[in-house]
Amino acid sequence: MLKWQKNIGELIRTKGAGMNRLRRWISDTYLHILHSLAMNIPFGRIKRTLYRLRGTKVGRGVDISSGVFIEESFPHLVTIEDNVDIGPNVIIVTHDSSYHCIQQDIPLICREVIIKRNAYIGAGAIILPGVTIGEYSIVAAGSVVTKDVPPHTVVAGVPVRVIGTVGEKQEKRIITTTRFI
C-alpha cells in the first residue's frame, strides 16, 4: 500500500475531524491539479476555464501566457477584468505569510488583487496583495507592484514607480517610428 493510500484510509476511519481533513485534502489536491494545468497548458480558452474553476474571476478576452502563477491558496481573491494581457512568468499573490511563518499568532495578510480592463502586465512582473491595476495601464516586465497603479499609467521598477502615461508613451513611440520611415 502506498503512503497516500494509507493516509486516506486513516482519514476515512476516523470520525469528525478526520473527515474534515479528508475533504480539505481532496479540495487542496483538486486546486493544486487545476493550478498546475492552468500554469502550463498552452490553450487560452482551456487555461481561462481552469483558472475560473479554481475561483479566480477572469473576464472575456483575457490572454494569460505560460508560467503565470495566480495565487495558489486564495485564488478567489484575484479578479482579472476583460481584455487583460498577462505576459509569461507573472506572479500574482493575494496573501503574505512572512510574519505568520516567524510567529504563529500573527495572522496571514490576505487582500484582493484586481486587474482592471485592458491592462497589460509584462513578463516576470510580481503583483503583491491589495493591489489594483487601473484600466489601460502597463506594468513593465520584471516590475514589483506593491501599490495601486492609476488608470492609463505606465509603471516600472522594483518597487514600481510611474514613468509616464500611456498617451505619452504612445505619442513618443509614434514619433520615434515615423522618423525612420
Nearest to 38 by CA among 66, 60, 59: 66
Exactly one of 32, 35, 76, 95 is catalytic; which is it?
Answer: 95
Nearest to 92 by CA among 129, 44, 136: 129
Identify whether 35 is a catalytic site residue: no
Nearest to 39 by CA among 62, 13, 66: 66
Strand partners for 108: none
Q: What is residue 97's three-state secondary structure?
A: coil
Q: What is residue 133's three-state secondary structure?
A: strand
Active site amino acids: 95
